[in-house]
Amino acid sequence: MTMVAQTGANTGVQGNKTPDPAKRAASWRAVRRAAITIGLALATYELIARTGSFPRALLPTLPMIVRTLFAMLLDGSMLMHSLYTLYRVLFGFFLAMVVGIPLGILMARFRRVEQFFLPLVSALMPIPSFALVPLFMLWFGIGNLTTIIIVFYAATFPMIFNTWSGVRSVNPLWLRAAGAMGADEHKLFWKVIIPGASPFIITGMRQSFLRAWIAVVGAEMIAASNWGLGWVIFDAKEFLNADIMLASLAVIGFIGFAFERLVFGSLERNTVMRWGMMRSAKS
């Protein structure tokens, strides 16, 4: 779904509650369309796999992948791998928010802080986190610490950058109005700047999580042992287990999608979209 930030004031009178049935029908249509696209892609894969031009072990058919997936779900190993990966990604993502949001706000509010950090952020942001894995492994060893630091590295910069932009784009009229109504710096911060910058902060969280999710799988391939979705994929190459790789990829895709839709999607719907600060693009 594409989001468009709404800047101008909306002058049209609308009902208090937006009519649901039409919207619901539209969203079902979107789901159907997505199902068709995915179904076609899967069918194409299955066809290619069944031509027999590639070895089965390298290009397993869908039923084989599903069987492997179920086996791994039933014996609990897939759950453990997922939990390890989720633990690492959420820990790193949480750290990125704790550091990124306040730093972004300070950069936007104080020229000195901006002058100091902006070059650093601009220089570090384009370095792919994956390229840092070997180095961090030397420093922090194999295991959770390295993967969490990699996730943190990947997730922090979009958080800083978006928060910084968001605070700078807070309508100065809100600050004036709040100031005239007696808001001190502390109240201004919590009651005006944070909600005023929330469309950007939420976008920052989305981008951060996406980068974190990509980073964790990469980091686990090299810097994790025994557990984690990235590790299981990398480990499977030793035994030519393409089915395990593909089953794990499906889980990675599913969890990423669930977070994007359920967590961030509903956060957005219940805040900035409800307030009309952001709306979904028209059809």
Partner 1 sequence: MPLIEVKDVSLAYDTPAGRVQGVLGATFNMEESEFLCLVGPSGCGKSTLLNIIAGFLTPTGGEILIGGKKVSGHGMDRGVVFQDFAQLFPWRTALGNVAFGLEMKGIGKEEREEIALQQLKLVKLEKFANSYPHHLSGGMQQRVAIARALAYNPAVLLMDEPFAALDAMTRDDMQRLLADVWKTTGKTIIYVTHNVAEAVYLADRVIVMTPHPGTVKAEIPITLPRPRDPLSVEFLDHQKQLLNYLGQGTSKAA
**Residues in contact with partner 1 by the rule CB under 8 A:** 6, 8-16, 171, 173-174, 176-184, 187, 191-192, 195-196, 198, 271, 274-277
The CA R_g of the chain, rounded to the nearest whole Å, is 23
Alpha-carbon distance values, 140 to 88, 136, 145, 223 (Å): 15, 6, 7, 10
For residue 280, the cross-strand partners are 3
Separation CA 174–CA 214 (nearest Å): 37
Shortest distance in whole angstroms from residue 184 CB to partner 1: 8
- Under 8 Å between Cβ of 163 and 200: yes
Shortest distance in whole angstroms from residue 263 CB to partner 1: 20
Shortest distance in whole angstroms from residue 158 CB to partner 1: 23
Q: Would you say 12 or 63 has its CB closer to partner 1?
A: 12
What are the structure tokens assigned to 232, written together?
């299981």
Q: Would you say 11 or 283 has its CB closer to partner 1?
A: 11
Alpha-carbon distance values, 204 to 57, 130, 169, 187, 259 (Å): 41, 20, 14, 23, 14
Q: Would you say 97 or 192 has its CB closer to partner 1?
A: 192
Shortest distance in whole angstroms from residue 11 CB to partner 1: 4
Alpha-carbon distance values, 282 to 4, 23, 196, 203 (Å): 10, 11, 23, 19
How many residues appear in the chain?
283
Q: Would you say 8 or 63 has its CB closer to partner 1?
A: 8
Separation CA 225–CA 190 (nearest Å): 42
Shortest distance in whole angstroms from residue 166 CB to partner 1: 13
Shortest distance in whole angstroms from residue 17 CB to partner 1: 9
Q: Would you say 20 or 184 has its CB closer to partner 1?
A: 184
Q: Would you say 45 or 174 has its CB closer to partner 1?
A: 174
**CA dihedral for 118, 124, 127, 133, sign (positive or negative):** negative
